[in-house]
A = this chain, B = another copy of it.
Amino acid sequence: MHDTLIAYINNALGKTLSEKDEHLLESVFKPKKLRKHQYMLQEGEVCRFAGFIVRGACKQYTVDKSGKENIIGLFIEHWWVGDRESFMTGTPSPYNIEAVEDVEVLLAGREDFLNTLSRQPFINEMMNVLTEKHSFHLIKRVHAAHTLTAEERYHDLHKKYPEFFQRFPQHIIASYLGMTKETLSRIRAGSGKK
């Protein structure tokens, strides 16, 4: 299982990790399996892990007073998962993270991460690059939410992450895009016949 993570990091850094570094990763990241519908993180808890998905798919969401799920993030294999803010600051997370398929993850606990991993320059560097990329991505989502129509947002996602449409049921994608499942359904029906 750790091979996937090591390959990922080698690729991200554009170099090959030493045996020592590999062993460090193996000692810190514990494998865990989750079945579909199992929670990785529940609203109100502090997020005590940084997770790397080896297999499967997850959703991150809030639930409003009327019980409606609001998907804020979707994650598949080779993505990092967790609530970074809660993890770093130790404050309770407002989000739920749940497996949408059976999942295998590698989890690094808070203490291991802060005491061991974040002392490693190579990990730190990678995390910083990822955080930066993530923030670029988020700015675009804010801008998209303000300027694009439901249909345009759908097309953008379809172009950027076509695999999502194989992996997640439509009502989940709709919520991630900030629209209802009915609206997404109508968009798909319409855009086929034009």
Q: Is the CB of A178 within 8 A of B135?
A: no
Q: Is the CB of A88 within 8 A of B132?
A: yes
Q: Is the CB of B84 within 8 A of A147?
A: no
The reply to whether the CB of A141 lies closer than 8 angstroms to some CB of chain B is: yes
Which residues of B sit under 8 angstroms from A145, Cβ to Cβ? Answer: 142, 145-146, 178
Selected A-B contacts with CB under 8 Å, 29 pairs? A62-B143, A62-B147, A64-B147, A70-B146, A70-B147, A72-B139, A72-B142, A72-B143, A72-B146, A84-B132, A84-B135, A84-B136, A85-B136, A85-B139, A88-B132, A128-B128, A131-B132, A134-B135, A135-B135, A138-B138, A138-B139, A138-B141, A138-B142, A141-B142, A142-B145, A145-B146, A145-B178, A146-B175, A146-B178
